A and B are shown apart, each in its own frame.
Chain A
Amino acid sequence: MPTEKSDLLQGTLDMLILKIVALGPVHGYGISLRIRQISKEVLQVQQGSLYPALHRLEKRGWLEAEWGESDKGRQAKFYKLSAKGRKQLESEESNWNRLAGAVAHIMQTAE
Chain B
Amino acid sequence: MSWWKSIFPKRASDAQMNSELRFHIHELTDEYTAAGMSPQEARRRAALEFGGQEKCKEEVRDVYRIRFLDATLANLKSAFRFIRKSPTFCITVILTLALAIGANSAVFSAIDAILLKPLPFPDADQLVLVEQHNSKSAAVLTRVAPTRLDDWNRLNSTFQALTGFYSEDVSESTGALPEKVTRAWVSSRFFQVWGLVPSSGREFTPEEETLNGPNAVLISDRFWRRRFNADPGILGKNLRLDGRLYPIVGVMPPSFLFPDREADLWSPIPSGLTIGRARENNWFVVIGRLKPGATVAQARADLGTIQVQLGRQFPETDNLSVTVDALKENTVGGSRRSLWLLFGSVSLLLLIACTNIIALLLSRSAQRQREIAVRFSLGASRGALIAQLLTETFLLALLGSGLGLFLAAAASGIFRSLAAQLPRVEEIHLDARIVLYSLACSLVVTFLCGLVPAIRGTRSRLSGSLAQTSRSQVSGRNPLQWLLVGIQVALAVTLLAGAGLLLRSFQELGRVTRGFDSSHILAFQLSMNWGETGDMKKLRQFTDRVLETLRATPGVDSAAISVGVPGVPFQYQTELKLLEGRAESEPKLVTDNRFVSASYFATLRIPLLAGQICRETDGPPTVVVNRTFADSYFHGESVIGHHLQSVSLGYAGPAEIVGIAGDARETGLDRAPVPTAYWCAPIAQPGTYFLVRTRNAPMTMAETIRRQLRDIEPQRSAYDFAPLEQHFSDGLAENRLRTFLLSFFAATALSLACVGLYGTLSYNVNVRRREVGLRLALGALRGQIIKQFLWQGLAVCLLGCVVGFVLAAASTRVLAGLLYGVSPTDLPTLCAVIFLVLAVSAVASLLPSIRASRVEPMQVLRDE
Q: Is B295 in contact with chain A by the CB < 8 A criterion?
A: no
Interface window among B15-23, B385-393, B623-631: B15-23
User: Is the pair B56, A51 in contact by a Cβ cutoff of 8 Å?
Assistant: yes
CB distance from A68 to the nearest CB of B (A): 11
Complex interface bits, A42-69 against B, C-beta within 8 A gives 1, otherwise 0: 0000111001100110011000000100
Nearest residue, chain B, Cβ from A53: B63
Task: Tell me whether A48 and B28 are in contact (CB under 8 A).
Answer: no
Residues A51 and B60 in contact in the complex (CB < 8 Å), given A28-B20, A77-B16:
yes
Chain A: minimal CB distance from B60 (Å) = 5
Report B301-314 CB contacts with A as 1/0, cut-off 8 Å.
00000000000000
User: Is B548 among interface residues, defined by CB-CB distance under 8 A?
Assistant: no
The contact of B23 among A29, A48, A52, by CB within 8 Å, is: A29
Contact with B along A1-36 (1 / 0, CB 8 A): 000000000000000000000000001110010000
- What's the Cα separation between A3 and B24 when bound, in Å? 24
Determine whether A108 belongs to the interface, using a CB cutoff of 8 Å to chain B: no
Task: Decide yes or no whether A75 CB sits under 8 A from chain B.
Answer: yes
Would you call B59 an interface residue if the criterion is a C-beta within 8 Å of the partner chain's C-beta atoms? yes
Question: Does A55 contact B23, Cβ atoms closer than 8 Å?
Answer: no
A52 and B381 form a contact (CB under 8 A): no
Q: A10 vs B50: C-alpha distance in the bound complex, in angstroms?
A: 20
B87 contacts partner chain A, Cβ-Cβ < 8 Å: no
Residue of A nearest to B16 (CB): A77
Q: Report Cα–Cα, A56/B50, bound state, in Å.
A: 19
Q: Indicate if the CB atoms of A51 and B64 lie closer than 8 Å.
A: no
Residues of A within 8 A of B24 (CB): 27-29, 32, 47
CB <8 Å contact, A47 and B51: yes
Per-position binary interface string of chain B over residues 6-42, scored 1 when its CB falls under 8 Å from any chain A CB and 0 otherwise: 0001001000110111011011101000000000000
Tell me if A105 counts as interface (CB < 8 A to partner B): no
A56 CB contacts on chain B under 8 angstroms:
63
* B177 shortest CB reach to chain A, Å: 84
Are the C-beta atoms of A75 and B56 separated by less than 8 Å?
A: no
Among residues of B, the one whose C-beta sits closest to the C-beta of A44 is B49
Complex Cα distance, B60 from A48, in Å, reads 9
Known: A47-B51, A59-B64, A74-B26. A52 touches B20 (CB 8 A): no
A52 to B64, CA, bound (A): 10
Q: Indicate the member of B23, B26, B49, B52 with the most A CB atoms within 10 Å.
A: B23
- Is the CB of B703 closer than 8 A to any CB of chain A? no
Write the nearest CB–CB distance from B480 to chain A, whole angstroms: 29
Tell me if A51 and B21 are in contact (CB < 8 A).
Answer: yes
- The reply to whether A48 and B9 form a contact with Cβ atoms under 8 Å apart is no
CB of B63 within 8 A of CB of A75, answer no
Chain B: minimal CB distance from A50 (Å): 9
- Encoded as 1 (CB less than 8 Å from any B CB) or 0, chain A from 65 to 97 comes to 001001010111100000000000000000000
How distant is the Cα of A46 from the Cα of B51 in the complex, in angstroms?
Answer: 8
In the complex, chain B residues whose CB is within 8 Å of the CB of A55: 12, 60, 63-64
A32: which B residues are within 8 A, CB to CB?
24
- Output the nearest chain A residue to B24 by Cβ-Cβ distance: A29
Which positions 435-466 of chain B face chain A at CB distance < 8 Å?
none
**Interchain CA distance A75-B52 in the complex, whole Å:** 22
Chain A residues near B9 (CB, 8 Å)? 59
| Interfacial chain B residues near A27, Cβ < 8 Å | 20, 23-24
CB within 8 Å for A29 and B27 given contacts A48-B52, A51-B20, A59-B9: yes
- Given known pairs A27-B23, A59-B9, the reply for A48 and B64 (CB within 8 Å) is no
Q: Taking each of B20, B28, B30, B64, which has the highest tally of chain A beta carbons within 10 Å of its own beta carbon? A: B20
- Taking the complex as formed, is B85 at the interface, i.e. its CB lies under 8 A from any CB of chain A? no
A46 CA / B26 CA spacing, docked (Å): 16
Tell me the bound Cα distance from A46 to B56 in angstroms.
10
Within the assembled complex, what's the spacing in Å between the Cα atoms of A55 and B14?
A: 13
**Is A77 touching B381 in the complex (CB atoms < 8 A)?**
no
**CB atoms of B56 and A47 under 8 A apart:** yes
Name the residue of chain B whose CB is nearest to the CB of A1: B49
Task: Find the B residue at minimum CB distance from A48.
Answer: B56
Residue B62 at the A interface, CB < 8 A? yes
Min Cβ gap A53→B in Å is 9
Contacts of A47 in B (CB 8 A): 21, 24, 49-51, 56
A and B contact pairs by CB, cutoff 8 A, 18 listed: A27-B24, A28-B20, A29-B23, A46-B51, A48-B52, A48-B55, A52-B56, A52-B60, A52-B63, A55-B60, A59-B64, A67-B16, A72-B27, A74-B27, A75-B19, A76-B20, A77-B19, A77-B23
In the complex, given contacts A46-B51, A48-B56, A51-B21, what are 13 additional A-B residue pairs having Cβ atoms less than 8 angstroms apart?
A: A28-B24, A29-B24, A29-B28, A32-B24, A47-B21, A48-B55, A51-B56, A52-B62, A52-B63, A55-B60, A56-B63, A67-B16, A70-B23
> Which residues of A come within 8 Å of B, CB atoms?
27-29, 32, 46-48, 51-52, 55-56, 59-60, 67, 70, 72, 74-77
The 4 closest A-B pairs by CB, nearest first: A52-B59, A29-B27, A55-B63, A48-B56
